[in-house]
Structure 1
Amino acid sequence: MTYLNIKIYSQAFRMTFIMLFVALLFSFQGNKSMMAMVIDSFSNDKPIAADRDHIKSVILHRVGFELSDPIIRLYSGEKLLLAFDDLEDEVKSYDYTIVHCNSNWEPSDLMTAEYIDGFSNDRISDYQFSLNTTTSYIHYELIFPTDYLRLTKSGNYIIKVFENNNQNEPAFIRTFSIVDPEIKIEASIKPPLALKSKLEKQEIGFKIILKNLYIPNPAASLKIIIRQNNRDDNMITDINPVRNQGDILDYHFNNKSIFYGGNEYRALNIKSLKYKAININSIDYLRDGYHVSLLEDKPRNGNNYAFENDLNGKKLIKTEDDENSSTEANYCWVHFKLQAIPELLDKDIFLTGALIEGMPNEATKMVFNPANNCFDGLLLLKQGYYDYQYIVKENGELAGSILLTEGSHYETNNEYSIFVYYRDPGSVYDQLLGFEKIIGPNN
């Protein structure tokens, strides 16, 4: 008898819909090629949804905190807001389901009923039509967890939104986490010890205070992940403590948690289409809607560091032209332009930041235009404020480099997120026991 049959047989008393969901979930476990049927690509094993073309402006954050990460505390009563626009002008029956994942974003071995108290999927019933916009759309919102779907385990999760009860072809997928803060993390940003790295890199030093948690073998039981500005392509994993002092694990100067400092993000302000904000060359209304053309961006490698307030790669959907940004903000075609210096001519250049809704891909790739000696890009964006940068990707590498396009400085203010996962011996899933965010080095 197979493992799947044993699991289903032993739980035969459970409701049929739970059994079917488990069978579907199991078919994805441990097999990335099969998971790819639902998830388009992986970035360091993190799933990124292949959004349908008509799905735009997906946001996921803690309720009441528009720029927050999609992370809530277990049993805290905190909730997440998921919102998105459908550019097709027909109301659809969107449902969602939630899948518990391990630290590597593969579905865990937990049964659905072990991490969900209530129904395994539910309907997204809150929607509004756009009002007086040049591009018609329907705006959907969901606040969760709900009274009918409660989450009972810490760790990583994916939320999968689909229509017509077809979970195999989701409209989009997003990720979030639930932390059960049983440990304390103290962290700081310092220059690396190596002299040649001090001017352009940042090292994340931190220690973990276990409190009352006993972990005999931290190197085997803990997994540390550090993300810079919510990027997944350059996140750092597999960090071991330098010193174990009983209830304190010291990770300072481990020679692993080192990032290029990069540069402050470039700004795109299209909160109003009635005037030209900084870096905007023109705003035109054509047959297919608004077109916003930016001034020519210059590569910043070799420039001195200059401080700029930014959102560390985030976006804020907002219109100043009307009252309700959710339904009255317009969509516009934004034309990006990056000067093509000789060092970039044989490189693949991509836009990056929250404006691209995931990992860099063909849709966000800049195209060389010999007529203006620039790399050109085009995105359909909702009114708001967006951070963006240009990155170089070579030979199919996962991590993008900002050295040629943006430069790198130790002084750059960056946002670092530290995740600490723990797997209890004999357990079948990874708990998220600690999360800490630091911004610096200038804050």
Structure 2
Amino acid sequence: MMNRTMFEHAQWKKRLPPFKRWRLVGLMLLVLAGCASSEKQKQEASKNQQEPAREAESTFSLKASLAPDADGVQTVQLYGGNDEQALPILQLEQEGRLTLEFDLLGRKDRPLSVYFYHANRSWERDLSPSRYMNSYQRDELTDYELSRATEQPYVHYEYAFPNEDIGFEVSGNYVLRVTEQGDEDAVLFERAFFITEQSATSEFRLRRRRLGGDSLPGYQPILLFEPPSTMQGSSIFNYNTCFVPNGRFGEARCVSRPETLQQDALRFDLDPRQSFQVEGASYSLDLREIGTGKSVLEIDRSATPTLVRLEEDDVRFPGASGTIALTGQTLVSAGASSDNADLFGQYVQARFRFVPPKQLPLSRDVYLAGSSNGWRPTSKHKLNWNASERRYEGEILLKQGQYAYRYVSQDPKLRRVQRQTLPQTRSRFTAFIYYRDATLQTDRLLSVNETLAQ
């Protein structure tokens, strides 16, 4: 039964002439359409406001907060076992070791100290040493030796762990800190490493996706994961996964909201909008032999240390760095002509030269990032614009060895041109699966998995 208002409205319409009735109907339809459109716009606006929030909650990036290298620290290497290309990842309660090597410029040979810190998946240092170590937190670096017959003198240090004095009880993210002996605050440098349980079954694959107007497809990591039987039934929100490209831990992208599949399996999909873009190929530098050829244009031995002028790197013709770029590691001993490159390796001042797009300066600064600086460029790795030569130039002190590097800038034009000119044909992705343990009040690292994109 119609209410009074609706009934009166119907009677009023009947009293109108036909042409006015049609005019009224048209007007009402326009009003209704406007209301619907307005409501739709409000819903779309609300949806657009909510989407970034949901994305921020489910997908995020992480960077380990590490102290910068002190002056005089050179060629820091942290790798698995005796393989300089192996990522610094240990398996808990197994016999594997990590190797730390580095140089201090000068002749002041002295013992140093090393400290270990546990961190959660966000790289916040969280636990007291007694909860994550079955030993002391600190050890001494006593294996060191002065370089031999080198133009630039230096002291070479080497250290392997775990050992009889250092052991770990909890998996997760770790930070290694080297300091002056006995002074925890006199920091020389810090590096990240990982201890995994490898206690879960997982399948890691990549999906190729188009990203916006980019002509090259990107990679969307997808991880299928079955929790250990002892954890099945735990809240899915206790699990998180982070994806790392080519051993560059500072570029990790993480997922905090997995999907539940059959039989307690979980699926982590990186948000498609956060997929990894195909990168421009990195450059490689082989300084195992100091002589002209390959990448070296000219050598000035009258300078101290020796100045090595490198062939210019043109953004239109990037070089392929091979397997070095897949791990992000510097190689000193591998393939070296000397039986002991650690002590006999010379340091040279390498002058890099970079030709940008159209030989024009970029809108933002240009830096050299690579295995020599842990892919974390600082102000000392900034290149200067040479207006007369129409290129960027800069000098970096390097030890004889093999390096991967690239030129980076906040100017988006550079990255776009690098990808379009010669994309990197292979990339290595590593997945880290974390579990928030309420008892330990930290994130355990359940498993690490790798896959290759090519």
TM-score normalised over the length of structure 1: 0.81
Q: 1:93-112: CA deviations, max 9, x gaps?
A: 2011111111111111x321
2:448 is aligned to 435
Assess if the C-alpha contact under 8 Å between 1:348 and 1:365 holds in 2.
Answer: yes
2:16 is aligned to none
1:221 is aligned to 238
Q: 1:20-66: CA deviations, max 9, x gaps?
A: xxxxxxxxxxxxxxxxxxxxxxx934122311111101100111211
Q: 2-side partners of 1:382 and 1:93: how far apart?
A: 22
1:367 is aligned to 384
1:331 is aligned to 347
Amino acid at match of 2:306: Y
2:95 is aligned to 77
Matched, 1:299 2:282: no
1:155 is aligned to 172
2:289 is aligned to 272
Amino acid at match of 2:223: F
Q: 1:346 aligns with which of 363, 372, 375?
A: 363
Assess if the C-alpha contact under 8 Å between 1:156 and 1:178 holds in 2.
Answer: yes
The number of aligned residues is 390
Change (3 A) 1:157 1:185: same
Assess if the C-alpha contact under 8 Å between 1:350 and 1:393 holds in 2.
Answer: no
1:46 is aligned to 64
Matched, 1:165 2:177: no
Change (3 A) 1:411 1:240: farther
Change (3 A) 1:423 1:253: closer
Assess if the C-alpha contact under 8 Å between 1:350 and 1:390 holds in 2.
Answer: yes
Q: Equivalences for 1:192-203 in 2 at 5 Å? A: 192=209, 196=213, 199-203=216-220
Structure 1 residue 276, shift from structure 2 partner: 2.5
1:5 is aligned to none
Q: 2:395 aligns with which of 367, 378, 381?
A: 378
More helix by share: 2
Please say which of residues 232-241 and 193-202 is displaced more in the overlay. 193-202
1:38 is aligned to none
Amino acid at match of 1:438: T
Structure 1 residue 257, shift from structure 2 partner: 5.3
Q: 1:110-147: CA deviations, max 9, x gaps?
A: 32112111222121010111111111111011111111
Assess if the C-alpha contact under 8 Å between 1:267 and 1:385 holds in 2.
Answer: yes
1:32 is aligned to none
Amino acid at match of 1:387: A
Change (3 A) 1:204 1:198: farther
Change (3 A) 1:425 1:290: same
Q: 1:237 aligns with which of 254, 279, 283?
A: 254
Assess if the C-alpha contact under 8 Å between 1:264 and 1:307 holds in 2.
Answer: yes
Q: 2-side partners of 1:418 and 1:321: how far apart?
A: 36
Assess if the C-alpha contact under 8 Å between 1:261 and 1:408 holds in 2.
Answer: no
Q: 2-side partners of 1:46 and 1:193: how far apart?
A: 29
Q: Equivalences for 1:25-424 in 2 at 5 Å? A: 44-108=62-126, 110-192=127-209, 196=213, 199-216=216-233, 219-252=236-269, 254-255=271-272, 258-273=275-290, 275-300=291-316, 309-312=322-325, 313-318=328-333, 320-341=336-357, 344-393=361-410, 402-405=415-418, 407=420, 412-424=425-437
Change (3 A) 1:407 1:169: farther
Assess if the C-alpha contact under 8 Å between 2:152 and 2:347 holds in 1.
Answer: yes
Change (3 A) 1:311 1:409: same
Structure 1 residue 426, shift from structure 2 partner: 4.4
Q: 2-side partners of 1:96 and 1:81: how far apart?
A: 13
Amino acid at match of 2:96: E
Q: Which runs of 5+ in 2 are unaligned?
A: 1-60
Q: 2-side partners of 1:128 and 1:79: how far apart?
A: 22
Identity of aligned residues (%): 23
Structure 1 residue 252, shift from structure 2 partner: 4.8
Change (3 A) 1:402 1:136: same
Amino acid at match of 2:195: I
Structure 1 residue 213, shift from structure 2 partner: 4.2
Q: 1:385-406: CA deviations, max 9, x gaps?
A: 1111111125xxxx99732445
Assess if the C-alpha contact under 8 Å between 2:282 and 2:424 holds in 1.
Answer: no
Q: Which runs of 5+ in 1 are unaligned?
A: 1-42
Q: 1-side partners of 2:448 and 2:101: how far apart?
A: 24
2:31 is aligned to none
Structure 1 residue 222, shift from structure 2 partner: 1.2
Q: 1:249-294: CA deviations, max 9, x gaps?
A: 1235752551011122211011001x32422211221231211111
Please say which of residues 243-252 and 91-100 is displaced more in the overlay. 243-252
User: SS state of the match for residue 403, structure 1?
Assistant: helix
Change (3 A) 1:277 1:422: farther
User: SS state of the match for residue 255, structure 2?
Assistant: coil
Amino acid at match of 1:366: L
Q: 2-side partners of 1:306 and 1:50: how far apart?
A: 29
